Structure 1
Amino acid sequence: MKLYRKLSILLFLLIAFTAISCKKKYTPKPKAYYRIDFPAKEYQNWNSDFPYSFDLLSMAKIEKDASKGAEKYWLNIQYPDYRATIHLSYKTVDNNLEEYLEDSRKMAYKHSIVADAIAEQVYFNDTNKVYGMIYRIKGNAASSVQFIATDSTSHFLRGALYFREHPNQDSLAPVIQFIDKDIVRLMESLKWE
């Protein structure tokens, strides 16, 4: 009787395992993101009654910064298709360049809490007297690229790229790379008026 019971249990387990293993295996699908098509880049020179001018991607839109506390020469460069904005703030240098540089560095490094890394790229253009720094912030930070430009005597310009989306490095990476090239072009074409 004991042998019969053991064989019955063994047979039951064998049938149960066979029935369970016959089901189709489930494999989770990898996470996917929308494909983003980028237009060919065409630039135009943006020049106004501001103390600076630069080349701007033709699809980008310039708006005067209307936020509380905004100053006269502050701008927002909008990328409506990508829900992105480069916030530009301009200051006149009056023996306070060190203060502006340190404030900008602190603002970039505030993202170090969530950043995987922050890469700094020094920028020099002796012809146009533009000297600066580009901060590329890796990871799920609110601002992926920040930059500063100055002539070290009279002008100081700071920019920061923000998205109107929850920061997700994986899905935003192609757009960040696309706009990063525009930021480099802005720095290369920047002229003080």
Structure 2
Amino acid sequence: MIKNVIFIFVSLLLLSCGKDPVPKPSGELRLEYPTPKYQKFENNCAYSFEYSDFSKITDAKRPCWYYMSYPKMKAKIFITYYPIQNDFADHIKEAERMVYDHTKRASAIDTKSFEYPEKKVYGNFYELKGQSASNLQFYVTDSTRHFVTAYLYFNTRPKPDSLAPAVNYIKKDMMHLLDTFEWKK
């Protein structure tokens, strides 16, 4: 009996010699992306713009179509070009259809129109909130000969909270792209 009491006493003594538990402090994910350095995108197409050196541009399926990839973010901007041939209204409708197809999952759509008359650059920039497959989209036109669209996609399920830092970073790049967008003569 004494052996059992001593055994229990020693066991309790050994178990109680640990450190006091400390709750894990709450922390937030901190994603840092490099400050972009912009370079001019030159091609044989009717347009040019500046893009971040954090991204890479590769050819897509057709002439003057490109993928601007952000490999570390698993994101791509799909850029398309169409010459206008008496079908300007059709291009506008298709660009808007691509935006509003996402209303099933988007909680809101912010539309910003922009125009740079000195460069003949006009268009709309769309920011889709919520669990949309494409968070940012835009179209650019000179309204007579050229029409360019761009759509941002991530190679992951849409999770607005997790993707927000990447979306905000790419949004700044896309806004810079639009600010520097020009038609070639």
Q: 2:105 aligns with which of 91, 96, 114?
A: 114
Q: Does 1:53 align with 2:53?
A: no
Q: So what's the TM-score if we normalise by structure 1?
A: 0.80
AA of the residue aligned to 1:122:
S
AA of the residue aligned to 1:51:
A
Q: 1:63 aligns with which of 28, 47, 58?
A: 58
**Do the aligned residues in 2 keep the contact of 1:149 with 1:156 (CA within 8 Å)?**
yes
Residues 77-132 of structure 1: CA deviation (Å, up to 9, x unaligned): 00011000000000001111110000110110000001100110001011111000
Gaps in structure 2 of 5+ consecutive residues? 1-22
- Structural mapping, 1:32-51, within 5 Å: 34-51=29-46
Indicate the residue corresponding to 1:22 in structure 2.
Answer: none
Give the distance between the partners of 1:87 and 1:176, measured in 2 at CA. Answer: 15
Structure 1 segments of 4 or more deviating over 4 A?
Answer: none
In structure 2, relative to structure 1, the CA distance for the partners of 1:33 and 1:91 (3 Å cut) is: farther
Indicate the residue corresponding to 1:171 in structure 2.
Answer: 162
Q: 1:186 aligns with which of 172, 177, 182?
A: 177
Give the distance between the partners of 2:35 and 2:168, measured in 1 at CA. Answer: 14
Shift of 1:33: 6.5
Shift of 1:41: 1.5
AA of the residue aligned to 1:181:
K
- How many aligned positions are there? 162
Give the distance between the partners of 2:34 and 2:154, measured in 1 at CA. Answer: 19
- Structural mapping, 1:8-27, within 5 Å: none
Q: 1:154 aligns with which of 145, 151, 160?
A: 145
- Structural mapping, 1:65-84, within 5 Å: 65=60, 70-84=61-75
Matched residue SS, 1:149: strand
Q: Does 1:137 align with 2:128?
A: yes
Shift of 1:59: 1.5
Gaps in structure 1 of 5+ consecutive residues? 1-26
RMSD after superposition: 1.7
Q: Does 1:105 align with 2:100?
A: no
Give the distance between the partners of 2:168 and 2:47, measured in 1 at CA. Answer: 25
Indicate the residue corresponding to 1:7 in structure 2.
Answer: none
Q: So what's the TM-score if we normalise by structure 2?
A: 0.83
**Do the aligned residues in 2 keep the contact of 1:33 with 1:171 (CA within 8 Å)?**
no
**Do the aligned residues in 2 keep the contact of 1:150 with 1:157 (CA within 8 Å)?**
yes
Shift of 1:151: 0.2
